[in-house]
Amino acid sequence: MNPVVQLLQGHRSIRKFTQQNIDREQIEAIVRSAQMASTSSNVQAYSIIGVTDQAMKDELAALSGMAYVASCPLFLVWCADLHRLRLACEKQQTEMVHGLLENFIVATVDAALASQNAAIAAESMGLGIVYIGSLRNKPLEVSRLLKLPELVYPVFGMCVGYPDQEPSVRPRLPMAAVYHENTYNDERYGEALDVYDETMKQYYLERTGGKKSTTWTQEMAAKYEKAVRAHMRSFIEEMGFRLD
C-alpha cells in the first residue's frame, strides 16, 4: 500500500492530547486542505470555527458532554453555511431560494467532505483527531456561543492535537457488508454481521480487559430503539433552514 492508503486505513480516534500547541502554519495547512475537498457546484457551503480560547472550549465541553474538548489545543466546529451564499445573491440583487431540503443536504455534505480532508491533513502531520457529534445535543446554545447567523448550523466538532495515547484501530464492517456490485444485495448480511459481531466482541474484551462484552448489532439496536436528538428539526428550522 502507498503511504496515503496506509494513513487512511490506520485512522484512530484520539481523545487524549499532549499540551503541545498547534502552530499557525499547521492550522492554515489543515484549513487549506479542507478547502480543496469536493464541493457541489463550487458553492463551498460550509464555514469552520477554530476555537482556541480556553473558556470557550470549557463551555463547549460542557455543552457537548465531552471533557476532552477542553483539553485539545484546537477545536474545530464544522458548520453548514447558506448565509454566505445568501450574501452572494444579494450582491447580485437576487433573492436566494434557501427553503429547500436539497440546499440543506448540500451544505451538510460540503461540511462533511471538507472536514474529512482536514482530518487526513492533520493526521499526516502526526496530529490526532476525534469528531464530536454531541455538539448537536444543545445546538442552539452552541450557535449562540459561536455567534452563528441565520442559515448556519453546527454539524459537528473536531478535536485536534498531538496524541497522548495509542489506541488500537477499531475494526470496521467486512467489505462484503458495505460494498455492492451493480445492485444492492442484502442476502450476505447475515453471515457478514455474524462475523463482525464476533470481531467486535473480541475487540471490546481486549480493549477493556474483559470488562465489556457486547456486539455491534447489540450496540446498534440499543442506539436506534429510541429517538436521538429529536430536537434537531425544530432547531434547524429556527436557524432559517426549511426542510420542504
| Closest to 120 in 3D by CA, of 217, 29, 7 | 7
Q: Which positions ≥6 away from 191 have C-beta within 8 Å?
A: 176
pLDDT number for residue 100: 83
Q: Which positions ≥6 away from 159 have C-beta within 8 Å?
A: 14, 15, 17, 68, 69, 72, 74, 75, 129, 130, 132
- Model's pTM, two decimal places? 0.95
pLDDT number for residue 98: 66
- Helix, strand or coil, per DSSP, at residue 74: strand
Whether 128 and 48 have beta carbons less than 8 Å apart is answered as no
pLDDT number for residue 37: 98
Give pLDDT tens digits along the chain (244 positions): 899 999 999 999 999 999 999 999 999 999 999 999 999 999 999 999 999 999 999 999 999 999 999 999 999 999 999 999 999 999 999 999 867 899 999 999 999 999 999 999 999 999 999 999 999 999 999 999 999 999 999 999 999 999 999 999 999 999 999 999 999 999 999 999 999 999 999 999 999 999 999 999 999 999 999 999 999 999 999 999 987 7
Amino acid at the residue 25: E
pLDDT number for residue 12: 97
pLDDT number for residue 243: 79
Cα radius of gyration (the chain): 20
Q: How far apart are CA 181 and CA 171, in angstroms?
A: 23
Amino acid at the residue 31: V
pLDDT number for residue 242: 80
Residues in the chain: 244
Residue 177 has φ and ψ, to the nearest 5°, of: -90, -10
| Closest to 86 in 3D by CA, of 9, 35, 134, 149 | 149
Structure-derived torsion over alpha carbons of residues 108, 110, 111, 117, reported in degrees to the nearest 10: 150
